[in-house]
Amino acid sequence: MRLPLIKHIVEFVEENDEDWVVETVELLEHIAEAKGMKDEELEVIGELLSNLYGAMAVAKDIKGGKAKKEALNAFMQRVMGSIN
């Protein structure tokens, strides 16, 4: 996961609508199920999905009243905690 990319997606959600991101996730998941997908392609799709899901989690926290910086930091703390 890349924090700058998640932050950029969160900005997109703020300017537009989260439905765009949800539909993008659905499309990428559908593409990943296609026959003949190479491992490298699946890795790229997986990384994109991770960032999109992360951005949706951050956007949800912001919608719940957290400041953007606080929501981003809290999300990354959760990610780092799950890795360790």
- Render the burial of 54-69: b for 16+ CB within 10 Å, e for the rest: bbbbbbebbeeebeee
What pTM, to 2 d.p., does this model score? 0.89
pLDDT mean over 49-58:
96
Proportion of the chain above pLDDT 70, given as a percent: 99
Residue 50 pLDDT more than 70? yes
**Residue pointed to by tokens 């300017």:** 15
- Summary mean pLDDT of the chain: 93
pLDDT mean over 55-71:
95
Residue 83 pLDDT more than 90? no
